Structure 1
Amino acid sequence: MSYTIRPEALPHVGRPPVRRWPNGFADRLTAPLASFLEVVTVVQHGGFRTDIGDVDLIPVYRSKLPRPTGTEALITWVGHATFVLQLGGLTVLTDPVWARKIPGIRPRLTPPGVAWSDLPPIDAVVISHNHYDHLDAPTIRRLPKDTAIFVPANLARWFTRRGFRNVAELDWWESASLGDVTFSFVPAHHWSRRALWDTCKTLWGGWILTSRHHRVYFAGDSGYGHRFKEIGIRYPDIDVALMPVGAYSPRWFMKNFHVDPDQAVQAFLDVGARHMATMHWGTFVLSGEPLLAPLEETRQSWTIHNLDPTTLWDLSIGETRTLPT
């Protein structure tokens, strides 16, 4: 498949164009990263320990992946930040993680909501940033090498070293098109690191996917801040915002880079979406809040804001919702 990157207008097929990026993106941070002492403090005080006794209450619904009819779009939550998006004639994966275990944390609490064997051919993958719970090497290796991959600035080499031939890396506010779908990379209040020596060497962000009939916002990971309103201004008429609601405790440690449920709802209001789908909870233990708190607190915030309950897609793992035209 071919695609073009805008605004640079660099058409290419196969091997990506050579992009010259700065040595790092620390200047894009909107808050300082945690110091080593802060990390030690939160670990010593059990800030990442969570009782998983409620794991059986996490809703999981596994069935055959439905296929869209006509011009409808389907949104299926696989778990954590992984969705199967079927829109504009394409099947797209967001931050795909099918692995049972990722480095540094306990195995996943719940199975992927869609079996890998049940996936249709994947046309494209979008990656929000390079943290292990969003960029999983074992899962990526299962994809055909000609899959279209859309990644943040300076992350293409990670994929081309693994044999992928169709990789586009974008800066904030850049867009690329594949078939009838436009992929736009947008800012987030977050950071990147995959090893001790590569902090903020690659960019981070979210994605807006726009087809002829639908617009979907995948937020990736983000703290709360002004960038949500900027996204809503630049990309009006978002049908659904896929928003993280988990991994927010202890708050003093997480607040700069992970929204809590109430902030997720406010971010949804800022971008002006019609629906919000919850994600980034119920799969991996990354923080200290109770397992079910992200969902419960999101529902409470929805009620406090007097929002239409039908516009909150508090998805079960494996659940599919439809965006009609």
Structure 2
Amino acid sequence: MKDFDIKFKWIGASTWILSIDNLKIGSDPVLCQKDTLQHYRFFKTKRRTEPNYESKDFENIDFWLLTHEHEDHIDAYGVTKIEPESKVYANSNLKKWLKLIYATNVDYLKWGEKKIFEKENLKITIEAIPCVHASNYIAAKLAGSVNGYWLTVEKNKSKIQIYVTGDTVNHQKVKTFLKGRNADIMIPNIGAGGLDKFGGPYTFTANQFMDFEKTVNPKIILPVHHKTFSLYKEPIEKLYAYNDNRVLKFDEGDTLEVK
């Protein structure tokens, strides 16, 4: 990745900013304050931490990756940070959120669908990747559709592959879709969300992830979607305990140079 200048900032939950040269990508803006209680269909969750960002973080974002409609991924505060000039790639169940601000400049992607975004000397192919958002069939159906994303970033003769898992578990359907791919950077949603609920966990446990990651063999792993909400039941230390030097350690508000 020496041909690219890459920076990553985690704001909390699955909200992050990824900069590649002069390109700026945002993900899943959920910015409610600490102690906000969110009401889901069958349970509640509380935000444990303040979102850690500066206003400039959300300025001039070239495109957003929106995975799904759940309020630990997008909320009434976060959606206002999506500027009308920014391109948005989203699951179709985000329509009810995006109509609050504008209804143009959005591509709703089905699994396997691809779009191309170009800026200066960068060409980015965005592909929607399947997710299975629970550990049994009934809970997965109730949770609804979720997109992961695979980004292929090309500059001259250089290329990097970035996999954003979205909310998924270690399911054969997802692994089959990804077979034969290799990721330079993987941004997985960890935290064993809903581990104590029907059909849980809804996202990777550390143990699940360490099996799943072999599918794409990432060079660098940037784990998010832990700590922020009470729904996330497993501490990140469970993943750190594997002592895998590909797993970078950072906290909410931290900015990393990814090399």
| TM class, shorter-length | 0.7 to 0.9
Contact 2:7 2:19 in 1 (8 A): yes
From 36, 50, 54, the equivalent of 1:111 is 50
Q: Distance in 2 between matches of 1:106 and 1:185?
A: 28
| Equivalence map 1:149-164=2 (5 Å) | 149-153=88-92, 155-156=94-95, 158-160=97-99, 162-164=101-103
Q: Distance in 2 between matches of 1:91 and 1:229?
A: 28
Contact 1:102 1:133 in 2 (8 A): no
Corresponding residue for 1:265?
210
Corresponding residue for 2:200?
254
Tell me if 1:209 matches 2:148. Answer: no
Greater relative contact order (CA < 8 Å, ≥ 6 in sequence): 1
| Equivalence map 1:284-323=2 (5 Å) | 284-287=229-232, 289=233, 293-300=234-241, 302-303=242-243, 309-323=244-258
TM-score by length of 2: 0.80
RMSD: 2.6
Cα shift readout 1:108-129 (whole Å, capped 9, x = no counterpart): 2222232234444111111111
Corresponding residue for 1:183?
126
Cα shift readout 1:182-221 (whole Å, capped 9, x = no counterpart): 2110001127xxxxxx956x63120112211322111111
Counting matched residue pairs gives: 237
Q: Distance in 2 between matches of 1:102 and 1:70?
A: 43
What is the SS of the residue equivalent to 1:266?
Answer: helix
Corresponding residue for 1:94?
27
How much does 1:259 deviate? 2.0
Contact 1:153 1:169 in 2 (8 A): yes
Corresponding residue for 1:82?
15
1:319 aligned partner, one-letter code: D
Contact 2:45 2:231 in 1 (8 A): no
Ranges of 4+ aligned residues in structure 1 off by more than 4 Å? none
Residues 264/248 of structure 1: CA separation in 2 closer, same or farther (3 Å cut): farther
What is the SS of the residue equivalent to 1:183?
Answer: strand
Q: Tell me which moved more, 182-191 or 155-164.
A: 155-164
Corresponding residue for 2:137?
none
Q: Distance in 1 between matches of 2:250 and 2:38?
A: 26
Cα shift readout 1:115-147 (whole Å, capped 9, x = no counterpart): 234444111111111111112232112322232
Tell me if 1:126 matches 2:65. Answer: yes
Identity of counterpart residues, as a percentage?
21
Q: Distance in 1 between matches of 2:26 and 2:133?
A: 21
Larger radius of gyration: 1
What is the SS of the residue equivalent to 2:195?
Answer: coil
1:223 aligned partner, one-letter code: V
Q: Distance in 2 between matches of 1:218 and 1:209?
A: 8
TM-score by length of 1: 0.65
Structure 2 residue runs of 5 or longer lacking an equivalent are 135-140
1:317 aligned partner, one-letter code: E
Q: Distance in 1 between matches of 2:49 and 2:3?
A: 32
The structure with the largest strand share of the pair is 2
Corresponding residue for 2:104?
165
Structure 1 residue runs of 5 or longer lacking an equivalent are 1-68, 192-197, 304-308
